[in-house]
Amino acid sequence: MNPSIEQLGDSAALIVWRSLDHSAAWLQVQNAAACLDRNRIEGIVATAPAFKSLTVYYDCQILTWTDIVKWIEEKLPSPSQPFQIPRREIEIPVCYDEEFALDLISVASIHDLSPDEVIQLLSNATYVVQMIGFSPGFPYLAGLPIQLHAPRRAAPRIQVPSGSVAIGGEQAGIYSCSTPGGWNIVGRTPVRLFDPQRNPPCLLQTGDRIRFGRMDRRQFDDYAEQP
């Protein structure tokens, strides 16, 4: 199925696979992102994959809309083209100390679970990074067990501490920076997901498989003190 190509302002094009289901669309996005990135021409500024869409940013001083649509249509891989997503497996240690796990009890109560059962379920699952977005390095994670789905908080917090592991609807995520946020916070990792001085700056990339390890408060503090 061919995606639609829509104008996103005067300097970006949105390629979107609206009619495909989530996982089929996601694969097309990854494939298209890799393919278009390999075939960049002058005037293409950046590409950014999302769940069911890929944004191509261009310089409208150099390329017109006709140019950009032509380039996308020419370079877009055929939907049947086999595609392997590079997969890495990464464990993220999480501390569920009550100082960090601000919403652990409320998430547990939604499904009549004990906090420890929530932690067990979180730790036994494997997650896939669907996209990086919202704030620098923030991973949207698919694979949250259905028993842990929890609606976003009615009023977002003004400041969610960086490293907070959180549940928003059917997704999990990790706040990579201190930002406002409405997801339910169940723990915190001392691992830095985004460090602009590091190369690459993001620890995680789309397609990575994630597991949550468990650490106690002392291990957290020791880890956090490492330079």
Partner 1 sequence: MNRLRILRAGLCSTVQDLGRPSFRDLGVPVGGAMDHVSHELANRLVGNPANAATIENTLTGDEIEFAKDSLIAITGAAMTPVLHCTGADPQPVAQNRPVSIPAGSRLCLQSARRGCRSYLAIAGGINVPVVLESRSTVLHASFGGHQGRMLAAGDDLPIGVLSSSNTEVLAYLSTLGQFVHPRWFVRTMDLPNSDVATLRIISATHTAQLMQSARTLLSESEFRISSQSDRMGYRLVDQPLELEQRQELHSEGAVPGTIQLPRDGNPILLMADCAPTGGYPRIGHVISADLSLAAQLRPGQLVRFQMVTLEQAQHCCRHQQQCLTKALAMVELISR
Cβ atoms of residues 11 and 58 within 8 Å:
yes
Which of 132, 144, 150, 174 touches partner 1 (CB under 8 A)?
132
CA atoms within 13 Å, Cβ hemisphere of 203: 20
* 148-187 binders of partner 1 (CB under 8 A): 176-179
Residue environment code for 32-69, b if the CB has 16+ CB neighbours within 10 A, otherwise e: bbbbbeeeeeeebeebebbbbbbbbebeeeebeeeebe
**Binding of residue 2 to partner 1 (CB under 8 A):** no
E runs forming strands in 99-155: 127-132, 139-142
Rounded to a whole number of angstroms, the minimum distance from the CB of residue 9 to partner 1 is 4
Q: Per CB under 8 A, does 34 bind partner 1?
A: no
Q: Judged by CB under 8 A, which of 1, 2, 7, 98 binds partner 1? A: 7
Q: Does 121 bind partner 1 (CB under 8 A)?
A: no
CB of 133 to partner 1, least distance (A): 4
Which residue among 27, 48, 110, 121 contacts partner 1 (CB under 8 A)?
48
- What spatial distance separates the first Cα and last Cα of the chain, rounded to whole Å? 50
- Nearest of 165, 177, 103 to residue 140 by alpha carbon: 165
Which residue's entry shows tokens 């609606």?
A: 151
The reply to whether 221 sits near partner 1 by the rule CB under 8 A is no
Q: Whole-number minimum distance, CB 1 to partner 1, in Å?
A: 17
Among the listed residues 140, 183, 212, 220, the single contact to partner 1 using CB under 8 A: 140
Looking only at residues 54 through 113 of this chain, which bind partner 1 when binding is defined by CB under 8 A?
54-55, 57, 60-61, 64-65
User: Which of 34, 113, 135, 211 is close enough to bind partner 1 by CB under 8 A?
Assistant: 135
Contact call for residues 220 and 188 (beta carbons, < 8 A): yes
CA distances from 55 to 5, 32, 44, 48, 202 (A): 10, 10, 11, 5, 19
Judged by CB under 8 A, which of 31, 47, 164, 184 binds partner 1? 47
Q: Which of 225, 207, 113 is nearest to 167 (CA)?
A: 113
Nearer to partner 1, 24 or 48 (CB): 48
Q: Is 1 in the site for partner 1 (CB under 8 A)?
A: no
Residues of this chain that interact with partner 1 (CB under 8 A) are 6-12, 14, 16, 22, 33, 45-55, 57, 60-61, 64-65, 131-138, 140, 176-179, 194, 196-197, 200-202
